[in-house]
Amino acid sequence: MMKRLKFLAILVLSLSLILSSVSSSFSAVIKGEQYNLSDYEKLSGKKIGRFSESPQLTELVRQGKLPSLEERTPKELVIIEPWEEIGQYGGTWRRAWLGLSDGAGPFKIAYEHLLRWNVDGSDVVPNIVKKYDVSKDGRNFTFYLREGMKWSDGTPFTTDDIKFWFDDITLNKELTPTFPSWLTTEGKPCTFKVKDKYTFTVSFSKPNAIFPMQLAYFGGFVAPAHYLKQFHPKYTDSKKLEEMAKDAGFQFWYQLFGFKNNWLQNPELPSLWAWKLTSAPTATLMVLERNPYYWKIDPAGNQLPYIDKITHELVQDPEMINMKAVQGDIDMQMRNIRLQNYTLLMENRDKGNYRVFKWTTASGADFMLEPNQNVKDPVLKKLFQDRKFRFALSLAINREEINQLVFLGLGKPRQASLISASPYYDPLWEKAYTEYNPKKANQLLDELGLTKRDKDGYRLRPDGKTLALTIEFAVNPTSSDASELVKKYWEAIGLKVDIKQHERSLMYTKTLAGDFEVTTWSMDRAFQPISDPLYLIPYRQEIGTWHPLYALWYMSGGKSGEEPPGVVRQLQKIWDVIKVTTDSEGRKRLFSQITKIHRENIWMIGTVGESPALVVVKDNFRNVPEKLVSDDILRSPGNAQPQIFFFKK
């Protein structure tokens, strides 16, 4: 009897250890994360020996119109752990957009770079590449492609495509007039070397510890050489290319090339994405369809994506997108869903058969104002470059009122600064010059000598003209509502304010040329700013920035733009040091200098930040996380892994 009890005790102990081991293995797999197949099998203890595909593709294989799944996919697949469950194939995901200028929406659904941020933005992981190595000195980065990966037309994806992108696109002055600053250290461009069909190395003159993080954000290094060579003068007769360009309605070959290399306009362009454009966008609809050669699967061995097709219906303005969501005509969308419609969306959930998720934004300012430091008007430039003037603008703003009236009290009154969850968070910056103090604002303007007034009570400039400011921005209801309040606050301290809205592409052009006075934008990228410190450091040009010509000066090595004054130049110099600092704590200390400079100068005037991003999700649209960090750096909602979204039948 004792022997039997002893045996049973040992058996129970053994079973508990086994179950504990299995449980431990499975707990190492994180929902929503992706893994190389071999790594997943080690972590989960689960061997995936059977693979399957969409019934649509099975039928094409049966008809001989498509190679088998094994022939279409690489040896080392990527596996994504579902948020809820293994999905079901089929369906059309309905979305809405504002046209080509709104192309970032469908682009972020794809999010396929060599590397990518993981779901919560805490780390960079392999994606198109299966792995990468970094040399001890932090200068050389070696990447390993997935053998057998193919473009959407079935052509093998190799280092020939990487080399073409680097040598023939990035180093071609007509296609890339300015070498990307993120691919330089101390102004010196990186170099590129191919080892074999699946291995290449990118090298820098100095250590570049932030390169993987920037690669996960900016992407690049990928272009279908076999397709694009026919539009490049290095591979096609120049006369023939000129004729091709003219026939297509272009004056120069590089314009034709740019069009052919535009995924949003050219359905012939091969892709590595889960879905690809299958026909040119029409006046009403843009359609993306499943890529049969996609290289990611689920834990059951099913090739992703689950959803057959994504449609984007063209509408005139963001409010129409919100109305479509309320009516239940959108299956899942975050882009252009307005926080101001939160109550309306919540009230219509049952009728529209949808849920409303609130994702955490990495927005240090949901609405900020940026006086152009390169404004063409010399009198305004002198004022804008005086921090006392900027302090006055900030102190005149009633942030709590903006939060209640524009953001329904869901945001947080704060300065435009890094969010509280950021590893680089500066609490002093968040609060700097945020109190509502019109009296102090008036005092600062008086100290600047702006004491004279015109007949309407507005202050006069030093040249005797009325001190008038124009707030300009890309069409956006939130910016419009908040700007009207700011107009009231600033006019209360004697500044005449005009408001102008422009179509986004026009505002983009005006920004890069420095052709605006005050612009508005949101301060996204405020969680992992080191990936793209766009608003903090004038190192590249983009819409919604206060430093367009300072950035151009930096990008061009001083050949174009405007040389920044000492304190702004200091930001650029610190950034140069950060890029070559391999120690993470060292980078953190350096970045604290950047936040200190900003809190002492306030080039970006924040109002409200850290409000949630609303995500409308149909009840039968599954595998969408209820909670997630949303940020441009993470290419949200791309970090939610849309490939595993599905319609539950």
Name the residue with higher pLDDT: 206 or 8: 206
| Residue in the structure block whose two tokens are 């039928």 | 59
pLDDT at 11 over 70: no
Pairing of strands 184-185, 188-189: antiparallel
pLDDT at 644 over 50: yes
Average pLDDT rounded to a whole number, residues 567-584 = 95
Share of the chain above pLDDT 70, in %: 96
The amino acid at residue 513 is A
pLDDT at 532 over 50: yes
Distance CA 181, CA 184 (A): 5
User: What CATH code would you report for 365-609?
Assistant: 3.10.105.10
DSSP summary character for residue 66: S
What would the pLDDT profile of 14-30 be if each residue is shown by its tens digit? 444 344 444 434 458 99
pLDDT at 302 (0 to 100): 99
What would the pLDDT profile of 469-497 be if each residue is shown by its tens digit? 999 999 888 999 999 999 999 999 999 99
Q: Helix 566-579 crosses helix 548-555 at what angle (to 10 degrees)?
A: 50
pLDDT at 399 (0 to 100): 99
pLDDT at 283 (0 to 100): 84
Query: Given phi > 0 = left and psi -120 to 50 = alpha, else beta, which region is 46?
Result: beta
pLDDT at 22 (0 to 100): 40
Candidate from 19-23, 276-280, 638-642 with smallest mean pLDDT: 19-23
Confidence at 282, pLDDT banded by 50, 70, 90: confident
pLDDT at 265 over 80: yes
Element (H, E) at 160: helix 159-163
pLDDT at 27 (0 to 100): 52
Nearest to 81 by CA among 118, 135, 54: 118
pLDDT at 186 over 90: no
Average pLDDT rounded to a whole number, residues 234-247 = 96
Average pLDDT rounded to a whole number, residues 522-545 = 95
The mean predicted confidence, pLDDT, of the chain is 95
Query: Given phi > 0 = left and psi -120 to 50 = alpha, else beta, which region is 224?
Result: beta
DSSP summary character for residue 156: B
Name the residue with higher pLDDT: 11 or 299: 299
DSSP summary character for residue 527: S
Confidence at 5, pLDDT banded by 50, 70, 90: very low
Residues 6+ apart with CB under 8 A from 246: none
So where are the chain's domains?
A: 365-609
What is the pTM for the complete model shown?
A: 0.88
Nearest to 435 by CA among 400, 409, 485: 400
pLDDT at 17 (0 to 100): 39
